[in-house]
Amino acid sequence: MVIGIIILGIGLIGSLGYIFFMLRDLKQINQQLDLIKESDNNIRLTTMTFNKEIVTLTSAMNEVLNKQRDLLIANKRTNREIKQGLTNISHDLRTPLTSVIGYVQMLQAGELDEEKEAEYLAIIENRLLSLTGLMKELFDYTKIMEGKVKVNLQKINLSNLLRDQLMIFYDQLTEGNFQVDINFPEADIFIVSDVAIMERVFQNLIGNVLAHGKAYFELELASDKITFANRVANLKDLNTERLFERFYTTDASRSSKRTGLGLPITQKLLEQMGYNLKVNLNGEQLSFVIDIH
């Protein structure tokens, strides 16, 4: 009887000790949570017990904390992008508007000869066309991100479509002293796609070559991919990991009046048709590759 009571007492003490250590561990976990809530750090919950349920709970809570931190980091990055984008857009719109107002005021003064009036009117028209282009790109980006672009899929001759786009940009490539290297297969390549969207994609990519490339432009068409390659004019300012970020531009001064939305628009349009756009940098050569297989 005495031995039984002793054994029962030892068991009770052991159980109370086990409960005490679990409660102490839960209290420590709660303190860790309070610390995490009050500070912006990467602390994760730890447990000193080997209780399966507490270990499982701690692991699950750490997963939630990891996801919350990833979401917080993503939100901060998005907010920075939006803030920088709004700053850039404000600059892009304000600069030509200020210029237009200045020229209008000089015209209103009535002190210019006909030649100067014509020159200033041409400048005003150019600035307003630039503003129209910027606004259209912003509108297009919003519409594309909201999935409001209708896709009309049909079988198209990709070879002919690319040739047509090259002809459109022929004068600009010539004026830019680009050596153009075209590599097409003998047999035409056909894909199922949207003609208007693909034209927009090609125009954006060739326009990117004209804006940022130098001396050399290569267009290669294969059965599974299209490659737009050019030498980069400002290699030290180029960050390929950010090229598809909205509002990103290598022109810190914004003198080119580009929104930094051309490549994100291009990537999103291609994704909506099931294609993939990748970027590669090899030495001075920058390549955009559309996966069409």
| CATH number of the domain that residue 234 is part of | 3.30.565.10
- Average pLDDT, rounded, for the chain: 80
Say yes or no: 182 and 275 in one domain.
yes
More confident residue, 286 or 243: 286
User: Tokens representing 184?
Assistant: 């097409």
- Within its chain, how far is the Cα of 107 from the centroid? 42
Beta strands in 13-169 (DSSP E): 154-157
When divided into structural domains, the chain yields a total of 2
How many angstroms separate the CA atoms of 243 and 290, rounded? 15
Q: Could you tell me whether strands 179-183 and 213-221 are parallel, antiparallel, or unpaired per DSSP bridges?
A: parallel
185, part of any domain: yes
Residue 65 has pLDDT above 70, yes or no: yes
Q: What is the pTM of this model?
A: 0.60
Q: Could you tell me whether strands 154-157 and 179-183 are parallel, antiparallel, or unpaired per DSSP bridges?
A: unpaired
How many angstroms separate the CA atoms of 26 and 46, rounded? 10
- Phi, psi (rounded to 5 degrees) for 206: -70, -40
Exposed, middle or buried, 293 (CB in 10 Å: 0-12/13-18/19+)?
Answer: exposed
Residue 253 has pLDDT above 50, yes or no: no
User: Tokens representing 173?
Assistant: 């490539």
Residue written as tokens 């068409």?
Answer: 221
217 DSSP β-pair partners:
180, 230
Say yes or no: 224 and 248 in one domain.
yes
Residue 254 has pLDDT above 60, yes or no: no
Question: What CATH number does the domain containing 97 carry?
Answer: 1.10.287.130
193 DSSP β-pair partners:
154
Amino acid identity, position 183: N
State the pLDDT at residue 248.
62
State the pLDDT at residue 90.
72
Most confident of 86-90, 174-178, 212-216: 174-178
pLDDT mean over 247-265: 60
226: containing domain: 154-291
How many angstroms separate the CA atoms of 234 and 244, rounded? 17
How many angstroms separate the CA atoms of 216 and 1, rounded? 99
Q: Give tens-digit pLDDT for 15-30.
A: 555 565 667 777 777 7
Say yes or no: 282 and 167 in one domain.
yes
57, part of any domain: no
Boundary (domain end) residue, out of 127, 145, 163: 145
Say yes or no: 186 and 234 in one domain.
yes
CA gyration radius, the chain: 31
Distant-in-sequence, close-in-space partners of 90: CB < 8 Å, separation ≥ 6: none
141, part of any domain: yes
Boundary (domain end) residue, out of 90, 123, 145: 145
Say yes or no: 279 and 186 in one domain.
yes
User: Tokens representing 36?
Assistant: 């995490």
Say yes or no: 170 and 254 in one domain.
yes
